[in-house]
Amino acid sequence: MSEPRVLLDISDAVATVTLNRPDKLNGVDLPMLHELVATARAVRADRDVRAVVLRGSGDAFCAGLDFASVLKSPTKIVRGFAPSPLRGQNLFQHAFWTWRELPVPVIAVVHGYCYGAGLQLATAADFRFTTPDARWSVLEAKWGLVPDMSGTVSLRELVGGDVARRLTMTGEVIDGTAAHAYGLASGVADDPALPAAELVAALKERSPDSVAASKVLLNRTRHASPRRAFAVERRLQLAMLLSKNAAIARAANARHEAPQFLARAFGR
């Protein structure tokens, strides 16, 4: 029996999700895509989870698509490439974009290679911390391809149009420091797990419903008209004003105490 491609450990309200093909530098194959979807579903169902840390085992975060493995199953590729009428995403896109759609913050911790599919997975997270010497690349250009695992949307949200075009058209390799300068990475550290843990600690001090609603608010209004954005604001704020966790926050602040929140009630 083969080892799981994706490991999930939930401890102290934090879900640590680990890509688990270290011998292949965590290259993405078809089973990993399915396991990413299943793991995200399990995280979503656990309302006690406050944040997700996404990482790679061994010497890399993820070196990209494992072409040698994937091309052995052309029929499965065709099936995986067909979009779901409900989601408007195919398997390759959904396996990565589902992390953006989770109602909890997702933090990618990047080291080693972050190529192609790996870069698209990292940029689907809400935050990314990287080592200075990590190698980042939209590597699809090397193979005469374009990013097609939700990466085009992630790139346009994180960097300017000229940077997105340059990275996508050239496939040039940049280090973690440059990735941070471009806006791909949220921060740089020799041990990126440390700023990730600091951010998780800060997030856990806030209402899980407020954090989830804030993620929804910013995702849904990024390209919305002001009129549409204001409508989303009103609807979410009303939900927060009526939430039990907001009442807990107000009472705790009045007493100058740390709030003891209930499990997340907002977001499916």
Q: Are 27 and 63 in contact (CB under 8 A)?
A: yes
Q: Residue 58 has what DSSP assignment?
A: T
pLDDT of residue 136: 98
pLDDT digits (tens, 9 = 90+) for 212-249: 999 999 999 999 999 999 999 999 999 999 999 999 99
Beta-ladder partners of 7: 18
Q: Which residue has the tokens 């688990």?
A: 20
Instruction: Classify domain 6-203 by CATH architecture.
Output: Alpha-Beta Complex (3.90)
The ranges assigned to domains in the chain are: 6-203, 207-254
Over the stretch 130-141, which tens digit does the pLDDT of each residue have?
Answer: 999 999 999 999
Q: How far is residue 232 from each of residues 133, 212, 214, 228, measured CA to CA in Å?
A: 40, 14, 11, 6
Instruction: Based on DSSP, count helices (H) and strands (E) in the chain, helices before strands.
Output: 12, 9
CB-CB contact of 131 with 176 (8 Å): yes
Residue 216: C-alpha distances to residues 119, 210, 221, 253 (Å): 23, 10, 8, 25
pLDDT lower than 70: segments of the chain: 1
pLDDT value of position 1: 57
**What integer pLDDT is reported at residue 59 of this predicted model?**
98
Q: Tell me what pLDDT residue 76 has.
A: 83
Quote the pLDDT of residue 183: 96
pLDDT value of residue 87? 82
The pLDDT of residue 86 is 76
Give the C-alpha separation, 88 to 68, whole Å: 27
